Structure 1
């Protein structure tokens, strides 16, 4: 198998995984957080705390974390094996995922999740903490959703050649 075929296989897997991530973050943007917002704050905080614990599982975490180095590897190899135009699409996909999805999660959403984990659902400040968390977390989740979707589109364009 030549390098171009290997890169194509990697790019195909990357595209599928980007689709999973885009759908995951999109679901939070359009329904999960809205459903939690309709609950009393103590219930919403407890539910989000549970979601944040459960999401760190053997199915989500390897895809979410592994997609960053996979996309970087795919982009680097694409410059060695593909024509410039599809290689640039691969690089754009990698940049969008690594900066707009992965880094935003690590720098913005995870610290907010960690702070929410310390909120006492029965505490007097739970409602205020939830309101502040919800609006900020959603803003950054929209960034992750759009970045993942844009990365998916770029990866698909790179596969087109």
Structure 2
């Protein structure tokens, strides 16, 4: 496998992880705060729509694709690349898979499903919304930080990789 190809893979992984981090940061920084300032029924309904639309988005391809890419890069590193590069790839994969995908699957998605089960104008939705905003955003901060950490690890792997011959 050529060094040039590996460099391209690492640059792509760095950019993709950074894009995922940016989307999460957008929600943590101002989207959730804006939804919280809207009338509760409007904020709830908007978040329900966002949560339904995300499944048909390019972001979902990027989010899930980076899971497979992270596993592949870690395997590539362990099998074929020098130790410093391999270490960065394994740590990057751990950050992405643990901090992005596991948190998404075990925490944020179940919260989204619970919110989606409520009528936006119901009392139950209103009470759920009060904790949803805070808790969902806290966990989303972690997802943003983990995706950023993965991007930085992939960048470090680029820096640690031997120069192309």
- Determine helix, strand or coil for the equivalent of 2:55: coil
Q: Structure 2 CA distance, aligned partners of 1:26 and 1:117?
A: 22
Q: How far has the Cα of 1:3 moved from its partner?
A: 4.6
- The match for 1:76 is 75
Asked if 2 retains the 8 angstrom alpha-carbon contact of 1:75 and 1:91, the reply is: yes
Change (3 A) 1:70 1:76: same
Between 127-136 and 3-12, the greater mean CA deviation after superposition: 3-12
The CA distance in 2 between the partners of 1:33 and 1:78, in whole Å, is 37
TM-score in terms of structure 2 length: 0.92
Deviation of 1:8 (Å): 2.5
Does structure 1 residue 117 correspond to structure 2 residue 116?
A: yes
Which ranges in structure 2 are unaligned for 5 or more consecutive residues? 161-165
**1:77 & 1:7 partners in 2: Cα distance?**
9
Structure 1 residue runs without a partner (length 5+): none
The 8 Å contact of residues 7 and 81 in structure 1, kept in 2 or not, is answered as no
Indicate if the aligned counterparts of 1:78 and 1:87 stay in contact, CA closer than 8 A: yes
Instruction: Report the count of equivalent residues.
Output: 160
TM-score with structure 1 setting the length: 0.94
State the distance in 2 between where 1:46 and 1:60 align: 21
Partner of 1:97: 96
Residue in 2 that maps onto 1:6: 5
Aligned to 2:163: none
CA-based RMSD: 1.2
**Residue 48 of structure 2 contacts residue 115 of structure 2 at CA under 8 Å; is this kept in 1?**
yes
Matched-pair contact (CA < 8 Å) for 1:96–1:148 = yes
Give the match for residue 137 of structure 1: 136
* Structure 2 partner of 1:37: 36
